[in-house]
Structure 1
């Protein structure tokens, strides 16, 4: 049984890098999900963390899906919900709604639950040779933690049905063309590319980013009237923030802003 933590965190220049650690393929299991939730809650409340990168330990996989051996004990009615899916969906939704900007760094195979984690992030960076897929149908099940609807919001229903119904992976180049990933980088600079993006995001005004993120995330689920009301409340708060004063002062003085 694994003794080391399933989640490791490093912090630098306002960016936290969270690594999923379950070698060799960093698969999702109960302990990893619980540690991921605890880590996300701690990072959410840490004022020193302004952006988050999520990746997998090693260079073989971001996360190659769920632990099949663990799931074999969940094949009776209600067991997979009680033992896995209810809590896992709660954790993944917490990541999707995380108030700070998030970047998924896909350093290898990204299948099943791994792709569902990545789809909760604001930005996804991969390499041209990365492999991404939702192969659950080949196990007689289907993606049950957001892989159907969150992926569809990124790439549309037709492409999502292709991924889900056939269970075949796509490489990073195809994923970029589909809109499944946002950027490709060469393997030797992948981590630096993700960190550089996160550092740029960390330098932005946090209240502005979190307010805009919440509105964008809700754009398919709420009416225009609801979104306008939400936007007005957020605007009143953000316009009174120190960062708004700093941003406008710096613009008038033709200086770069220094956000808190």
Structure 2
């Protein structure tokens, strides 16, 4: 259901639930467990991708229908999904979505939880919940406007229409666009580069940039300065400076 590999500090999580990797409660709980696994302490980057020729068709509509009228109803599925999605979004280390084929509804919302979105020319993105009379409850109404702007996000969410990879790139949704079949390779190349970087410094930069979205500019710049001063006294900065003067590549791999 969630295939996991770890290679050189990069954890790859592959959604594998044929035929379209629909996210049911079991898959959501499995994903949350993987993201909270103690092995993450040794990981420096996470890649999320899909098997079966696509990323994910979103929430399991059959399970949603089955849960209607039951105790807690669809909330049981959404709660399980929310734990996994928020755990991914809150990761301190860099995260990458590698997208081939369809990323729909909850699948597209899972993509939005990642820092980088790498998609091939085959990728298609949509938020079709409105067509079922349901709400995109897993962050789409929040994260999509922050990626592509309010007007474009409102268009996609209220109409449920689909956009291709070229449009997604032009709108600023994607970090990289590749030829068909090459999204995961491109994501792995990016992940390897990030994994060689200073883990604590990358996490601090990511945290400060996220925080800056929600606080006044003067407060954000003051906090960034404090973080820069703290990082300047860190073992990572010492290694970076040592390597610079030695004209060598820094080695951050064994630092705490």
Question: What TM-score do you get using the length of structure 1 for normalisation?
Answer: 0.90
State the match for 1:255 in structure 2: 248
Q: 2:52 aligns with which of 52, 58, 76?
A: 58
Structure 1 unaligned spans of 5+: 1-5
Q: What CA distance in whole angstroms lies between the structure 2 residues aligned with 1:227 and 1:19? A: 36
1:219 aligns with 2:212: yes
* Kept after mapping to 2: 8 A contact 1:9/1:19: yes
Q: CA deviation at 1:124?
A: 0.4
Does the C-alpha gap of structure 1 residues 104 and 13 become closer, same or farther in structure 2, counting only changes over 3 Å?
Answer: same
Match of 2:196 in 1: 203
Cα pair 1:125 1:182 within 8 Å, conserved: yes
Contact 2:100–2:122 (CA under 8 A) maintained in structure 1: no
Counterpart of 1:26 (choices 21, 29, 48) is 21
Would you say 1:42 and 2:37 are equivalent positions? yes
1:87–1:226: structure 2 CA closer, same or farther, 3 Å change rule? farther
Task: Answer whether contact 2:100 2:181 (CA < 8 A) is retained.
Answer: no
1:232 positional shift = 4.8
Residue of structure 1 aligned with 2:142, choices 132, 143, 149:
149
State the Cα distance separating 1:82 from its structure 2 match.
3.7
> Cα distance, 1:7 vs. partner?
0.9
TM value normalised by structure 2: 0.92
2:105 is matched with which residue?
A: 112
Instruction: Give the conservation status (yes or no) of the 8 Å contact 1:129–1:173.
Output: no
Structure 2: distance between partners of 1:43 and 1:172:
35
Conservation of the 8 A alpha-carbon contact between 2:120 and 2:181: no
Q: Root-mean-square deviation (CA), in Å?
A: 1.9
